[in-house]
Amino acid sequence: MKTPASFVDALSTVDLENTFNPYRDTCPIHDAANAAEQRRRNLRRCLESALEANVDTIWIARDLGYMGGRRTGIPLTDEAHLSDAERLFGGIRLDRATTGPSVAERTATITWQLLSEIGRPVMLWNVFPLHPHAPKAPMSNRCHKRSEREATWPFLLALIEMLQPKRLVAIGRDAGAALDGLHIPVSNVRHPSYGGQPEFIAGIQAIYRLGPRAARSTMPTLPFLELT
């Protein structure tokens, strides 16, 4: 897993119960026929761009969400902000993998507003790089299990080895606890969900020494949709 292509290929082989692997699986409701291929391509292009840009920071949340990375293949990124990701990663092409209306996610919205303020790319990732869901409820979110984290932990270590970042930003308490003990500086910020948005903004502002413009309106560029 030393190159973007080999990393994505290896990730696409992971098959765990009650999880959706967006680089392997196809949702029968929302996905286009070649959705998994599109998401693999999106992630590979982001990795290649991150290497070219010598990205020095990885932002890491807990799990892929069903309205964001499950659909796009890019952590912390919904379809409403694919064009922002294209620009920040140097003009790469990122394709939608789903059919129907584009979807916006609250966490992705505030994340990408802040990334636009920062104006330079970071790599986005999750402690658990798949979408964990409740049994028989594929459009739900749950916290990953310890055994699931252990099964996929080598991917985080391989990503760090590939990019050689100077710092990690842990988004949320669970992500911070998971990253504790790594031999690389970790900055912890509050997750923006469940009332944590002001603290998340303040935490990112402090890390990047941003001015008050980063706290502007966090309204999405598309309506938030509930998927079933």
Q: For residue 12, is pLDDT > 70? A: yes
Residue range 132-149: average pLDDT?
95
Q: For residue 116, is pLDDT > 50? A: yes
Q: For residue 86, is pLDDT > 50? A: yes
Looking from the CA of 80 toward its CB, the CA atoms found within 13 Å total 21
Residue range 46-54: average pLDDT?
97
Q: For residue 225, is pLDDT > 80? A: no
Contact assessment for residue 126 and residue 70, using Cβ atoms and an 8 Å cutoff: no
Q: In angstroms, how far is the first alpha carbon of the chain from the final one? A: 35
pLDDT tens digit sequence for 143-164: 999 999 999 999 999 999 999 9
Q: Look over the chain and give the mean of its residue pLDDT values, rounded to a whole number.
A: 92
Contact assessment for residue 126 and residue 60, using Cβ atoms and an 8 Å cutoff: yes
pLDDT of residue 220: 38
| CA distance linking residue 130 with residue 69, whole number of Å | 8
Helix, strand, coil content of the chain in percent (nearest 5): 40, 15, 45
pLDDT of residue 218: 41
| CA distance linking residue 132 with residue 114, whole number of Å | 26
Q: For residue 91, is pLDDT > 50? A: yes
Rounded to two decimals, the pTM is 0.92
Q: For residue 223, is pLDDT > 70? A: no
| CA distance linking residue 47 with residue 162, whole number of Å | 9
pLDDT tens digit sequence for 187-201: 999 999 888 999 999
